[in-house]
Structure 1
Amino acid sequence: MGKVLYIACILVMISTWQENIALNNDSNAFKALYLHLMPGLSKFAHSFVKDPLAAEDIVADIFAALWSNRSGLMKIEHLRVYLFASVRNACMNYLQRRDRITFYAFEDMEVLLEPLVAPTNPEQQLIMGEMTLAMQEAIDKLPPKCKLIFRLAREEKLKYKEIAAILSISVRTIDSQLAIALQRIHAAVDSHLVK
């Protein structure tokens, strides 16, 4: 229940910041939005471009464009999804300009995203540390496409339709890739618990 409440609070904060930016030109709300979303978006961009400085520049450019077009910000229904999709598109444009190729396969991507919530109880931290290590090893062994979808769904808490929009794939693909990921992670955690 704690994670659900946390995510709900985040979504309310993002919506409030979005409204304050669009209606009041609130630079403090923009700064808060930027500081909250920049790390995850930068890691997402890095998954595509493999260059941390270029990833940060791409995300900074997205936020600069967002500020420039802030009067139309209320027309965006799901700001997080919009930003992830914008970053993906900007990364693809960057790669096209840089490498003069039109497509990067999921298999060429290394995904780096972090979970939203960490446990606060020391005992839970110890248990979660062991389980997280086993899970992380299993996640690292997932195929790149499967790993990207898993992390967007489980760690960024995006809905299947949102992921489909971001990655331009079908909801069925997301469902099947998550089933593969969960099966492999479950097997790894089970084998860790048996030890």
Structure 2
Amino acid sequence: MITSPSYQAYKELFYSQYNDLCNYAYSFLKDDAAAEDVVQETFIKLWEKHREQIGIPNIKAYLFRAVRNNSISALRKQYTENASQKGFESFVEIAENPDTLEIENAKPYFEQLVYEAIANLPPQCREVFTCCRIQGMTHLQTAQKLGLSAKTVENYMGRALKLLRKYLQQYGLPMSIIFLLKLILP
């Protein structure tokens, strides 16, 4: 059993603030288990990295700020996971359980979104993307055709994929749909 003065101060701080901090985290997360996880992680980080702060007069304010920041981080992580999972689930439902009618009904929607996403690219990005992904050219072939360096083509492709990902995420579609262009587009 640890009996150091800093541990005793930590233990007292934990027991005196735990419930209030859990309630505060719950106000953000609306989930008891997630709120408790955030508070426990906050206390663990405090013990591991900031033991010297345990005895300072304004430690309560520090803890509330840390719990707030950790709650917001947890919400961001949860939102990102939910958004990507939602898009993936809708895509997988069609891909794994192919009902011919569903596929035929979804195909124009996918095609339209992909065409819109490509059309919204800056002109040079669009041209490079079209050569590489739709026409199936290599980066070197595209560079020679457009009079660019291979590194420039690579940079344009990276930018195009980033912009396409952002556009498709607005509609809950995963980026993997871009890799299926050969199947979707004629």
TM-score, normalised to structure 2's length?
0.38
Q: TM-score, normalising length from structure 1?
A: 0.37
